[in-house]
C-alpha cells in the first residue's frame, strides 16, 4: 500500500510503505499552488528530476531540516553536496535499491537547469507498487519502453503544455506506459500552463484505458 499526496505543481509526497517517506520535486516556497510549507515536510528522501526552480525548489532546505537524502542526477547531487546536503547520484538508465525500494532514473526530454546535466524521470518501487514520475518532459517514443520494462501501477504525467506535454501528448504517453492509473500535474499553477484536467481524464480513460485520478493540492490517493 502507498499513499500519494499532491502538494501542488509537480510536488508529491509518498508515504505508507516501509523504509521511509519520499518527496518528489519539492517546490513549495513561491509556489502559488503549494499545499504545504517546507517546514511542515517530514521526509527521509527527496527525489529531484531536474534543477529548474519549480522542481529543485526547497530541496536543500528540506534536506537540511530532515537530514534527508537527495536522490538525483550527478550534477545536482554534486551541487547538493556543496551545500552540505547528503545526496545519491543516479544517472539515466541506472537504478539503485534504497531501504524503501528501487529507484531508476529514466529519460526526460527537457532541460537540466544545471550545466552539463540531464533532466530525468523516475520509476520508483514503493510499498509494493511501481510508480513512474515523468518530471518535466515532452512526449517521446521510449515511454513505450518504460511501460514494457515496468508493470506500472501509477503514472504521474505533466499536462500543462508550453514547458511540457500538453493534454493530447500526455494521453499518448499514457497509451505507451499502460499504467493502471494516471494522475496529472504541472498545470494551472500559472496562466501559461492552464489546462483542464477533466478533459485529460475523459480522453485518457477512453483512449489509453488508464483510470485517471485528479488531485487538488493537498489531496491524497491511496493505492
List interacting residues with Mn ion (CB under 5 A): 54, 136
Nearer to Mn ion, 26 or 101 (CB): 26
In the list Mn ion, Ni ion, none, the entry touching 118 (Cβ below 5 to 8 angstroms by class) is: none
Q: Is 129 in the site for Ni ion (CB under 5 A)?
A: no
H/E run at residue 102: strand 101-107
Q: Which of residues 131-160 bind Ni ion (CB under 5 A)?
A: 136
For residue 119, the minimal CB distance to Ni ion (Å) is 7
Question: Which residue's C-alpha cell is 551541487?
Answer: 79
Nearer to Mn ion, 58 or 153 (CB): 58
Nearer to Ni ion, 52 or 201 (CB): 52
* Pairwise CA distance, residues 39 & 24, whole Å: 16
Comparing every residue's Cβ against Ni ion, the nearest one is 52
Q: Is 52 in the site for Ni ion (CB under 5 A)?
A: yes
* Pairwise CA distance, residues 128 & 135, whole Å: 22
Contact stretch for Ni ion (CB under 5 A) within 16-24, 49-57, 96-104, 170-178: 49-57
Q: Is 25 in the site for Ni ion (CB under 5 A)?
A: no
User: Could you give the angle at the alpha carbon of 221 between the alpha carbons of 219 and 223, nearest 5°?
Assistant: 170
- For the chain, percent helix, then strand, then coil, each to nearest 5? 25, 30, 45
Quickly list DSSP for 106-161.
EE-SS--SSTT---EEEEEEETTEEEEE--S----TTHHHHHHHS--SEEEEE---
Nearer to Ni ion, 38 or 158 (CB): 158
Contacts to Ni ion by CB under 5 A: 52, 136
Amino acid at each position: 500500500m502507498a499513499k500519494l499526496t499532491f502538494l501542488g505543481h509537480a510536488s508529491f509526497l509518498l508515504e505508507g510503505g516501509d523504509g521511509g517517506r519520499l518527496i518528489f520535486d519539492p517546490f513549495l516556497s513561491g509556489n502559488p499552488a503549494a499545499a504545504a510549507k517546507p517546514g511542515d515536510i517530514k521526509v527521509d528522501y527527496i527525489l529531484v528530476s531536474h534543477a529548474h526552480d519549480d522542481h529543485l525548489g526547497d530541496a536543500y532546505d528540506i534536506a537540511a531540516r530532515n537530514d534527508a537524502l537527495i536522490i538525483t542526477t550527478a550534477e545536482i547531487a554534486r551541487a547538493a553536496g556543496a551545500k552540505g546536503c547528503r545526496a545519491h547520484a543516479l544517472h539515466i538508465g541506472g537504478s539503485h535499491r534504497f531501504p524503501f525500494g528501487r529507484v531508476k532514473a529514466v529519460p526526460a526530454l527537457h532541460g537540466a537547469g544545471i550545466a552539463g546535466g540531464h533532466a530525468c524521470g523516475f520509476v520508483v518501487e514503493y510499498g509494493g507498487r511501481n510508480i513512474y514520475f515523468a518530471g518535466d518532459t515532452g512526449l517521446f517514443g521510449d515511454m513505450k519502453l518504460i511501460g514494457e520494462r515496468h508493470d506500472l501501477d501509477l503514472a504521474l504525467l505533466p499536462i500543462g503544455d508550453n514547458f511540457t506535454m500538453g493534454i493530447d501528448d500526455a494521453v499518448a504517453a499514457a497509451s505507451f506506459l499502460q499504467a493502471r492509473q494516471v494522475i496529472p500535474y504541472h498545470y494551472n499553477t500559472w496562466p501559461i500552463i492552464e489546462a483542464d484536467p477533466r478533459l485529460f481524464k475523459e480522453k485518457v480513460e477512453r483512449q489509453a484505458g488508464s483510470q485517471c485520478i485528479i488531485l487538488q493540492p493537498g489531496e491524497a490517493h491511496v493505492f
